[in-house]
Amino acid sequence: MKYMSKVSAGLILVTLLIGLCSFVSKKEKPTLFLIGDSTVKTGRGDGSNGQWGWGSFIGDYFNPQHIDVQNKALGGTSSRTFYNNPKLWQQVLDSIRPGDYVMMQFGHNDGSPIVDTLRARGTIKGNGDAYQEVKNPLLGQNEMVYSYGYYLRLFVKNIQDKGATAVICSPIPRNRWEGDKVIQSDYAIWAKEAAEQAGAFFIPLQDLVIDDYEKRGKEEVGKLFFGPKDHTHTIKAGAEVNASLIADYLAKNPAIGLKKYLKK
Q: Which domains does the chain have, with CATH numbers?
A: 30-261 (3.40.50.1110)
Tens-digit pLDDT profile for residues 117-163: 888 999 999 999 999 999 998 888 899 999 999 999 999 999 999 99
- Which pLDDT score, from 0 to 100, does residue 118 have? 86
> How many Å separate Cα 113 from the centre of its chain?
22
pLDDT digits (tens, 9 = 90+) for 177-233: 999 999 999 999 999 999 999 999 999 999 999 999 999 999 999 999 999 889 999
Cβ contacts of 46 within 8 Å, gap of 6 or more = 56
Q: Which run of H or E residues covers position 181?
A: strand 181-182
Report how far apart, in Å, the C-alpha atoms of 145 and of each of 35, 92, 104, 193 are: 20, 22, 20, 19
CB of 88 closer than 8 Å to CB of 74? yes
Give the side-chain half-sphere CA count within 13 A for 42.
Answer: 20
> What is the predicted pLDDT for the residue at 229?
87
Active site residues: 38, 230, 233
CA 248-43-80 angle, 5° bins: 80
> What pLDDT digit, counting tens, does each position of 60-95 carry?
999 999 999 999 999 999 999 999 998 999 999 999
Q: What is the pLDDT of residue 27?
A: 55
- In three-state form (DSSP H/G/I as H, E/B as E, the rest C), the secondary structure along 205-237 is HHHHHHHHHHHHCHHHHHHHHECCCCCCCECHH
Cα separations (Å) of 262 from 103, 246, 249, 254? 15, 11, 11, 11
Q: Which residues make Cβ contacts (< 8 Å) with residue 160, sequence separation at least 6?
A: 166, 198, 199, 200
Taking 70 as the threshold, does the pLDDT of residue 26 lie above it? no
Residue 264 has a pLDDT of 85
* Confidence band, pLDDT 50/70/90 cuts, at residue 8: low
